[in-house]
Amino acid sequence: MVRSERKQEQERVNEVVDVIGEKIEKITGKKSTVKKGIVDLRKNFWEDVTVNLDETDDVYETQASIKQQAELLSERERRHGQMNKQLKTLTRLQDTPYFGRIDFREEDEKRAESLYIGIGSLMDAKNEDFLIYDWRAPVASMYYDYAPGPSKYASLDGEVRGNMTLKRQFIIREGKIKGMFDTGLTIGDALLQAVLGGKASSHMKSIVATIQKEQNQIIRNETDRYLIVQGAAGSGKTSAALQRVAFLLYRYRKTLRSDNMMLFSPNPLFSSFISSVLPELGEENVVQTTFKDFIEDRICRDLQLENPFDQTEACLTMADGEQLKTRIAGIRFKASLAYREMIDNWLEHLKAEGMIFRDITFRDHIIVSGKEIGNYFYALPNGQTLLNRLEQVRDWLLRRIAAFSKRERKEDWVLEEAELLDKSDYASIFEKLQQKKQFSEETFDDFDREEQLLRKIVMNRRIKPLRGKVKQLEFVNCQKVYSEIFYQEYTNETVPDRWGDICRSTRMRFEEGDCPWEDAVPYLYMKEKIQGRKGNHEIRHLIIDEAQDYSPAQLSYLQAAFPRCRMTILGDMNQAIYAQSLAADTMLSEHLYNPDEVKKLTLLRSYRSTKEIMNFSRAIVPGGGQIEPFDRSGKLPEWIDTTESGKASIILDKISAFKANGFETFALIGKTMKECREAYTLLKGKTDVKLITQATYQFDKGFIIIPTYLAKGIEFDAAIIYDASADNYSRKSERTIFYTACTRAMHELVLLSSGDKSPFLNDVSEEHYLYTRIGD
Ligand SMILES: Nc1ncnc2c1ncn2[C@@H]1O[C@H](COP(=O)(O)OP(=O)(O)OP(=O)(O)O)[C@@H](O)[C@H]1O
């Protein structure tokens, strides 16, 4: 590229930066005027409102005047918010105005037009021409989809065809061009090399400048209600999903807000890891949750919900034997649609018999017994749904409670409690009596009325929580109704092996007030079928990361909980680490969806790890040969065969070497939390190290110890697998855990073992790693 061209480009950058500077100045000026307006409006809100409550008409007029004033205020606040957003984007553009340029000659046009692409759009000073196109604009899609040559894009008015005569990439920092490449088919391998060769960080970065063609398809898909992405470890699923969120927020900016989108992440640490990507792209973060938190919010508070991580930990630490087999058989069956069918049959059965109700009690007094409620319930016409009948029971119970309350308020305890009421209660009673013009001077009658009122207040207050529970239909004992499923007789075809044992252990857990994780969704499904469910209509798009961890039953629950939603579903079958997902359908299984509404895309190219790490890791999983490592070289993974007592000093040496190499994040990865705690005990005090647990919500640079299930979705400059011996990794189900752990490393991977090595390593050809034996 000729030197003068770079000079010309820099001159253009300078001009654009000047325009940005002027815009920033202008908006800052306007913003302070709007801000002043807001402050004045807030200060003088009531002065500018006409308040008159004399006649009904005056009241309406007052209401209208308040509404008008409030609308004015909120309009100004909205403008202020928009200006802030514009300023943030402009400030970012001032540093890096754009990262790409394409020259495109539309069919039938004589000249090619140069289009510059950045994270936001920018018009010239006269607001006539685009100096920068937002990467999400339709025309910008060509930058990601085509090499120079014939190309096209879908504009709002239809397809536009033409010829791309140039595709150029820039690295611009602080307004200075640091690098400039004209690129071919894929978006600059040179730039991608540079980006991927950089250090890992405690926060994920946006990939806007280097989005690959196949990722662009995910990002810009608008046609399919359910978009499933099966992608190898490190293929950019999460990155593409976040870019997609930014794309959709831009594309549907008039109708879609960030709080209409919800992202399910695998663990709280991951939420913090990805939290800066959207703000970096000038968008607000979407609602984030974990599936466990989402379920916990809905499950009855009487039950102690098991954490999915505890379930995994329990399965991984339990010795091989009957107990483990039963637990796994239970987990798998309860994740299946066959079990949901069983619950549907149970719900049908409940129409005729089997509902269990709680006694309605107040101060140790049974107002209506559960048995009596049952009789009333089953006396209602059984053609109605369970919910309809329960609503009638609810109204009947509220009447019974009202009658009870009237009687009960005559009791002595009520007056005793009334003496404890505070001054404000007395003042309000006095006011009420006065309003009713019932309070003249001290007459006997007034004292009597006052006492009646006091009794009523006390009783109403005390009975209110009970009424609340009845209104929520909490008189149904869902816990018991659910555990009854495990007392029924079934034919052998409908139940899995070990059903008897599964029943026994489930009953025991429910009797103790525990809800095993595998029962959480089936239980909620049944409970909401009985007591009704409120669908969430606010959320219109769900993004589900690590979707291989979700069962068909969980998918169907989410579909019902978010009835209007579209979903972007991303995952990797090779990283399934929960017992429910292994060798079974998961949310990634296409056939679980209506064929007209679903599209499945596959990402095979992996960007995170060096070619050496990926060649090593992909040999571990079936079908791994299809995964294409990105061509970035590094050290061969190192397998160190040592003794238990030799491990600490090897780890400490490695950590020093990583630091000397300039690495900033490195993890010692264990299979379980138990193993991580052991490693932590071994190393704490000897180096600066942090143990990551379920309760860790953020991780910083440095050395951490972490179990695989908490490291999902996250990456490190270097990773050490703490125990790659046969004792630790040999069960069929542990293969994917092992693969997930290895693929967390970007630049270096070390595996330690003592005793026999994991049989999974037998699948890796010796040329793909370096073997060292240290110790006796
Ligand atoms: N087009 C791209 N340009 C630059 N970097 C990319 C690109 N695609 C992916 N990466 C990088 O590759 C790494 C892995 O990406 P990401 O975490 O999104 O992959 P993933 O498929 O979700 O991985 P996993 O399933 O292992 O969690 C990240 O560092 C990301 O920045």
Domain boundaries, the chain: 1-205, 304-353+478-527, 360-472, 611-774
Question: Which residues touch 234 (CB under 8 Å, ≥6 apart)?
Answer: 606, 607, 608, 609, 614, 715, 743
Average pLDDT over residues 565-570: 96
Residue 627 Cβ inside 6 Å of ligand 1? The answer reads no
- Per-residue confidence at 130, pLDDT binned at 50, 70, 90? very high
Q: How confident is the model at residue 737 (pLDDT cuts 50, 70, 90)?
A: very high
Asked if residue 647 lies in contact with residue 752, where contact means CB atoms within 8 angstroms, the answer is yes
Give the residue whose CA is nearest to atom 1 of ligand 1.
211
Distance in angstroms (rounded) separating the CA atoms of residues 723 and 728: 7
Q: pLDDT tens for residues 414-449?
A: 888 888 777 777 777 777 767 665 555 555 566 777
Tokens of 198: 């950089």
| CA dist list (Å): 603 to 234, 497, 544, 571, 613 | 10, 37, 16, 10, 18
Q: Are 543 and 570 in contact (CB under 8 A)?
A: yes
**C-beta neighbour count of 714 within 10 angstroms:** 24
Q: How many CB atoms lie within 10 A of CB 29?
A: 10
Q: Nearest 10 degrees: CA dihedral of 582, 583, 585, 590? A: 110
Name every residue whose Cβ is closer than 8 Å to that of residue 419 and which is 6 or more positions away in sequence: none
Looking at the DSSP bridge assignments, the partners of residue 169 are 100, 181
Q: Ligand 1 centre and the CA of 607: distance in Å?
A: 6
Task: Report residue 691's pLDDT band, with 50, 70 and 90 as the boundaries.
Answer: very high
**Whole-angstrom distance, CA of residue 600 vs CA of residue 229:** 6
310: Cβ contacts below 8 Å, ≥ 6 apart:
517
Residues 6+ apart with CB under 8 A from 533: 560, 561
Is the minimum distance from the CB of 237 to ligand 1 under 6 angstroms? yes
Q: Whose CA is nearest to atom 9 of ligand 1?
A: 236
Atom of ligand 1 minimally distant from the CA of 233: 26
ipTM of the complex in this document: 0.99
Give pLDDT tens digits for 454-466.
888 889 999 999 9
The answer to whether 231 is a known ligand-binding residue is yes
What's the average model confidence in pLDDT over 33-43?
Answer: 78
The continuous run of DSSP H or E covering 702 comes out as strand 702-707
**Percent over 70 (pLDDT), the chain:** 95
Residue 662 marked as a ligand binder: no
Beta bridge partners of 668: 705, 720
- What is the end-to-end Cα distance of the chain in Å, rounded? 59
Tell me, in angstroms, the distance from the centre of ligand 1 to residue 446's CA. 77
Give SS3 for 104: strand
Q: Which of 108-117, 194-203, 279-288, 291-300 has the lowest mean pLDDT?
A: 194-203
Which of these, 691, 667, 690, lies nearest to 740 by C-alpha position?
A: 667
Q: What is the mean pLDDT of residues 175-180?
A: 91
How many CA atoms are closer than 13 Å to the CA of 382, on its beta-carbon side?
12
- Least confident stretch, 548-552, 575-579, 652-656: 575-579
CA 700 – CA 370 distance, rounded (Å): 54
Closest ligand 1 atom to residue 215 Cα is 1
What tokens does 712 get?
Answer: 């999902």
Crossing angle of helices 647-660/673-683, nearest 10°? Answer: 80
Let me know: does 571 contact 287? Beta carbons within 8 Å.
no
Residue 495: band (very low, low, confident or very high) from pLDDT cuts 50, 70, 90 = confident
Amino acid at 158: G
pLDDT confidence band for 675 (50 / 70 / 90)? very high
576-605: average pLDDT: 87
- Assess whether pLDDT exceeds 80 at residue 294: yes
Q: What spacing in Å lies between the alpha carbon of 604 and ligand 1's midpoint? A: 12
Say if ligand 1 is within 6 A of residue 648 CB: no
196-237: pLDDT as tens digits: 877 777 788 889 989 999 999 999 999 999 999 999 999 999
Tokens of 45: 């809100």
- 299 CA distance to ligand 1 centroid (A)? 35
532 phi-psi bin (left φ>0, alpha ψ -120 to 50, beta other): left
What is residue 387's predicted lDDT score, i.e. its pLDDT?
92
pLDDT tens, position by position, 225-280: 999 999 999 999 999 999 999 999 999 988 999 999 999 999 888 888 898 899 88
- Classified as helix, coil or strand, 224 is coil
Distance CA 523, CA 579 (A): 19
Chain segment 71-88, per-residue pLDDT in tens:
888 888 888 888 888 899
Tell me how far apart the alpha carbons of residues 575 and 98 are, in angstroms, rounded to a whole number: 36
Site to substitute for ligand 1 among 238, 270, 620, most atoms within 8 A of C-beta: 238
Q: How far is the CA of 674 from the centre of ligand 1 (A)?
A: 29
pLDDT band at 303 (very low <50, low <70, confident <90, very high): confident
Is 443 marked as a binding-site residue? no
Question: What six digits make up the tokens of 430?
Answer: 């006095």
- Ligand 1 center to 543 CA (angstroms): 16
**Structure confidence at residue 4 (pLDDT):** 84
Q: CA nearest 357: which of 462, 470, 464?
A: 470
Contacts of 493 (CB under 8 A, 6+ apart): none
DSSP H/E element including 169: strand 158-173
Find out whether the beta carbon of 610 lies less than 6 Å from any atom of ligand 1: no
Which residues on adjacent β-strands are paired with residue 230? 571, 602
Residue 638 — pLDDT band, cuts 50, 70, 90?
very high
Side chain identity at residue 359, one-letter code:
D
Q: Decide if 391 contacts 470 (C-beta within 8 A).
A: no
Q: Count Cβ atoms within 10 A of the Cβ of residue 534 and give its class: 0-12 exposed, 13-18 middle, 19 or more buried.
A: exposed
Per the annotation, does 202 bind a ligand?
Answer: no
> Measured in angstroms, how far is the CA atom of residue 213 from the centroid of ligand 1?
14
Are 233 and 606 contacting, i.e. CB atoms less than 8 angstroms apart? Answer: yes
Assigned CATH topology for domain 611-774: Rossmann fold (3.40.50)
Confirm whether residue 237 is marked as ligand binding.
Answer: yes
pLDDT band of 3, cuts 50, 70, 90: low
Mean pLDDT on 482-498: 85
Distance 205 CA to ligand 1 centre (A): 9
Residue 194 banded pLDDT, cuts 50, 70, 90:
confident
> Mean of the per-residue pLDDT values for the chain?
89
CA-based R_g, the chain, Å: 32
The pLDDT assigned to 422 comes to 76
* pLDDT confidence band for 292 (50 / 70 / 90): very high
pTM above 0.90, yes or no: no
Measured CA to CA, the distance from residue 683 to residue 657 in angstroms comes to 16
Query: 354, 361, 352: which is closest to 384 by C-alpha?
Result: 352
Q: How far is residue 271's CA from residue 203's CA, in Å, rounded to a whole number?
A: 10
Which residue, chain included where needed, has tokens 């860790």?
A: 696
Ligand 1 within 6 A of CB of 239: yes
